[in-house]
Structures are given as structure tokens and as C-alpha cells.
Structure 1
Amino acid sequence: MVKVLYVVGLGRSGSTILSNSLGQIEGFFSAGELNFLWRHNVLENRLCGCGRPFHECATWQEIMRRAFGSPDEDFAREMIRLQRAGTRTRHIPLMLAPGGWRQMEGRIGKLLVSYGRLYAAIGKVTGSRVVVDSSKEPAHGYAMSHAPGVEFYTLHLVRDPRAAAYSWQKKKRQPDTENREYMFSSPPARSAVMWNAWNAAAEALWRKTPDRYLRLRYEDFVSNPRVSFERILKLVGEEDARIPLTGERGVELGVSHTVSGNPNRFETGTVELREDRRWQKEMSPRDRALVTALTAPLLSRYGYALSPSTRAL
């Protein structure tokens, strides 16, 4: 049975560097954002992390062959339809309601079986014990935790919402699209509301499985990656695996086979894990105050100071 480590949390929270760092551990495979597999890769043929178009990547073609034979566009569109029918944020209230999951499972049973096959095929083809899925969406992750044949673990990644909001304002080009389009951006108020919603949802959805759930702050990961890696390895029962560090903060990134995500997924070579604090100087006082006010309750819960210039430990 393959283990799946699902990274949940709002985008722009450091999930790409965390997931790709985990992918350097022997027996771990960083798959990228598998929730976008059908649209971005099967239909749009975007680049794999190795730099090849998805349909030309031998690793992914063998994974898809083993899992589904030869999935066509109709199959991909059906998977997208099922995702819309049961793995969106709007479905979280039903997931949490008494008996709600049974209704949801009836809608998306084929999707769950398909992802169970996908995870298993990734493990077989890559020789991995742990598949890192950085899809981040809470509802999608909770649904995938019910995929058959999967030992599912959740890594809840949290970043200071002001840092995340600052990052969401920046424009980033997508190198794997024909017209080099920009990644989706978001104004501070919207990203703050999403930060609240996704983090609260992650806690609510996995509160009944604390032995399969770990919350990790991005700031703690980059300040003390060794301890963070140890906590993650303990979560998934892989304590004997070698931590992928060179020195205290360096990670040697090899070529990945991530299917979707931040453009940083194409980065290779030695990377120093360090916090990006540009937001503290460059984010406008108005935006900082707005995000702080909107996220104040969870800021304290997650150990962040209300003052944007300092942070509680």
C-alpha cells in the first residue's frame, strides 16, 4: 500500500520548495499538484518538472499506462467533472455534516478509485514508498483521503498571511504555457479571506485523525529544516530515512517530475532554505493592516504576532 503525504494550505506558502525537498528523500516522490493533472497535463500538455511536455515524459506516460491504460480526453474531462461535483471548497459543509460524506462518496466514487490507481501506479513506476501530493486544496485532499488502497497523511502548511498576501499580489509568468501567461494573482483582502477559510477547513476536516495530521509553519521549516524534516518523517513512519540537507539549510534539488505548481518547481541545484521577508519592507502599511485585521483570530492561534514587524515564536 502506497503512502500519500498530502500538503494542504493556501498557495504561496512555500509548498513547492517543501515538496521538492521531500522529493529528494530516498523512497519519496514529489508529484506536484495532482488535482490539476487532468486539465493542465492530460488536456493542455503542460511541462513536467523535467522540462518535457507531459505527453513526452517517459515517467508519466508509464504511470498513466499502468494506472489507466491509455486515458483519452473524454476520460480526463470526466475526472474534471467529478472534481467539480464533489471536491471543491463549496462541498466542505456537506463533508463535515453528519452523513454528508456518504452522499459525497456516491457522487465521486469513480474519481476516488481513479486516484487510488494513480497513487499506486506512481509508487510502482518510481519505486517510491511515499507520494507527495502538493494539491493544497482542503476539500480535494479530504476526498482523496478516502481513495482505496492508500495510506493517507496530511501535512498542513501555514505561512504568515501577510507574507502570503504580498506574494499573491506579485505577477509570476508560467513557463509551461504557450503564451507564457501569468499565474493567478489576488488582492490582499481576498487572499486573507481564503487564508482563514482554507486553514480553518484543514483543521476541521482532519480533526478526527490527529495521528495522520501535522501542522507546520513555513517559517519554522526554513529556520530549522532538520527538525521539520524529522517531524514529517515521524508522521509517515519513515524515521530511518536520510534527511535531504547539505549543511544546516542547503538542499540539493534534482530534476523533478512535478505535473503542476509554482514555476519554482523547475529549479535544480543547491538551494538555501531561507525566509523571504521582503513583504515586511515592501508591503504597504494599509495592506498589512487589512490582512492583520481579517486574520487576527488565527494569527494568534498559529503563533504569529499582530504587529507585522515582529513575530511570536
Structure 2
Amino acid sequence: MTRGGRVKVLYIAGLGRSGSTILSNSLGQIDGFFSTGEMNFVWKHALLENRLCGCGRPLRECPVWRAVFERAFGGMDRVDARAVMASMHAGARTRHVPKMLTERGRRDLRKRVPLFLEHAERLYRAVTEATGERVIVDSSKEPAYGYAVGMIPSVDLYVLHLVRDPRAAAYSWIRQKEQPDSAEREFMHQKSARDSALLWDAWNVSAEALWRGAPQRYLRLRYEDFVSDPRGSFRKVLAFIREPDAGLPLIGRDEVRLGVTHTVSGNPNRFETGSVKLRRDDRWKDGMSRSDRTTVTALAAPLLLRYGYPLGG
């Protein structure tokens, strides 16, 4: 928590399958930092579905999240999760980004999401109070949701825009992955190469549009640069959020030691603990079909060049 009682939130924006889980979990190992995982899913995954916390317990049985909800609302059963989600969806979706770009639109959105803003404010504050940590790392990724969180007066928001080669992200979306935290769904949601590329375009353009006018609150980081130079990347991120003296979560040049986390949602590797090497995953170069690669490259070409990726892969 910052001076004046504001809650410092480092928000990771960008398309899923871009390495946000390992990045946020690594940052969560820093003394004073707490990685929540994807907070936009906390109402659904904790209160309605009781999925697994990163610690391995069902979220309703996790002592950390029980303490958070007790501080915020008097308990998990004191919250109408469906009403909060309805309020959130009324003004914090990708389709609302154009409204977020104008003062008139922002005023309209505030009228749509008061219940969400009030509940989210209480929840983020309770996280810092229950854990004793000063920085929340939220890897929800959705630009519109992150912008809505920034509308909370007590939130001191910093946006880390994480970008990964869209062909690598698409290859991950295409492949079937087990979903260990849900009894009803054995595998994670999949997307076609076309849908993945279109969403990659939309979310990256949205992130730039929403925060490009506030450079002191916005930092872009390529996943490939992060795993190639984790030490330099961590230092850049810590300087950006005004935490330059925080210790780096590294052992050696490219290895992090992950402790147990309390993430509410994310990629299955959020359950990993112990020493983890940070390395590029370029399996898409051999495993991705020519047609899928061509589709993604064509749809993402302008941003590929903007972010320094070769069209030829």
C-alpha cells in the first residue's frame, strides 16, 4: 500500500498464453509483493465454482482467501457474486474500450459499474491488509478490466503490457491443455489460429490506446526479452513501479525459485513450485501448420512489425 492509503496494483495486460503466469508468479516471490493471479475471475472461480487456489486447496478452504473475504465483506457467503459479475460485465469488457477513450464515455461507464467498483475496491484493499504485502500483482490481462480497476480511487495502478509473438500464443491456444483446477472441464479453452490472432490484435491495440497517454503508468515488455534477460527485465519493471530496491526473484542468471502461491486463476503452471528455468518456447516453429502460421502472420502483420517480430518467424 502506498502513502495516503492507496493500494499499489501492478496489472499485467495482454493476450493469454503470453507468459503472464510465470511472470506474475515470479514477481510474487519478491518480498512485499503478492500475486493474485487473474482477479477478474475471483468472483466466479472462488465463490461460484470453488476452484483450486494456487496453494492446491479449494479457494473456499484457502486460509488466505478466507481471510481476505472476511476482511472485505464479512465472509465469502456475504457476497452476491452474480450481481458483482453482472455489474463488471456491464462496463468492463473489450467492447467498452471505445467508451473508455472519451470523458463522456467514462462517465457513462461509471454509472454502469458502481457495484463492481465498490466490491473490487474493498477486495483489493483487503488483499493488502490480510497478507501484509504492499504490491498486488494482478495478471487478469484484459485491458478493459484493467482500465476499470484503474477507475477505483484508492487503486494506484501500473500497467505492464506483456507481448508475445502471436504465432507462439496461437500455437498454445490450438494445443489441448489439461485444466487441473476444474472438476467439470478436463481441458482448457481452445481457440483457432484466426480467433487467437484477431484477439491478439484487439487486446494489444486496446492496451496501447487506453494507456499510451500515461507513460509513467505504462510499460511494454516482450515475453521473449523477459526470458532472454530476466535480470534486466525485472529491474526495468521494479524501476517502473517505483520499487527499485526490491530484491530480484532470481537464483542464477535465468532461474527463479517459486514458492506456494495463492492465485485464483491462470495457466496450469501456476501450481509449479521449486526452481524453474526461464526459457523461450519456440515449439510453434516446428509444430505449427503452414496454414495456421500464414493466417496469424497475415492478420497480425502490422503489430508484428511494430513490436519487432520478423514476418518470417
Interval containing the TM-score (normalised by the shorter chain): over 0.9
Instruction: Give distance in 2, aligned partners of 1:104 and 1:180.
Output: 33
Contact 2:60 2:76 in 1 (8 A): no
Match of 2:176 in 1: 171
Match of 2:292 in 1: 287
Does residue 264 (structure 1) correspond to residue 260 (structure 2)? The answer is no
Match of 2:196 in 1: 191
| Structure 2 CA distance for partners of 1:245 and 1:32, relative to 1, 3 Å | same
Instruction: Give distance in 2, aligned partners of 1:98 and 1:30.
Output: 32
Match of 2:3 in 1: none
Alignment of 1:45-60 (within 5 A): 45-60=50-65
Match of 1:127 in 2: 132
SS of 2:80's partner is: helix
Match of 1:99 in 2: 104
Instruction: Give distance in 1, aligned partners of 2:230 and 2:117.
Output: 33
Instruction: Give distance in 2, aligned partners of 1:78 and 1:223.
Output: 43
Q: Deviations over 1:193-232 (max 9, x none)?
A: 0000000000001122110110000000000000100111
Does residue 16 (structure 1) correspond to residue 21 (structure 2)? The answer is yes
Alignment of 1:118-157 (within 5 A): 118-157=123-162
How many residue pairs are counted as aligned between the two chains? 308
Q: Deviations over 1:127-181 (max 9, x none)?
A: 1110001000011100001113111110000000000000000111111111352
With 16-25 and 69-78 compared, the bigger mean Cα shift is at 69-78
Gaps of 5+ in 2: 1-5
Contact 1:42 1:73 in 2 (8 A): no
Contact 1:48 1:258 in 2 (8 A): yes
Question: Which one-letter code corresponds to 2:210 in the other structure?
Answer: L
Instruction: Give distance in 2, aligned partners of 1:294 and 1:267.
Output: 34
Identity within the alignment, %: 60
Contact 1:113 1:148 in 2 (8 A): no
Contact 2:73 2:79 in 1 (8 A): no
Structure 1 outlier segments of 4+, above 4 Å: none
Structure 2-normalised TM-score? 0.96
SS of 2:181's partner is: coil
Instruction: Give distance in 2, aligned partners of 1:170 and 1:286.
Output: 15
Alignment of 1:227-306 (within 5 A): 227-306=232-311
Instruction: Give distance in 2, aligned partners of 1:71 and 1:24.
Output: 26
Gaps of 5+ in 1: 309-313
- CA shift, 1:98, in A, is 4.0
Alignment of 1:69-84 (within 5 A): 69-72=74-77, 75-84=80-89
SS of 2:40's partner is: helix
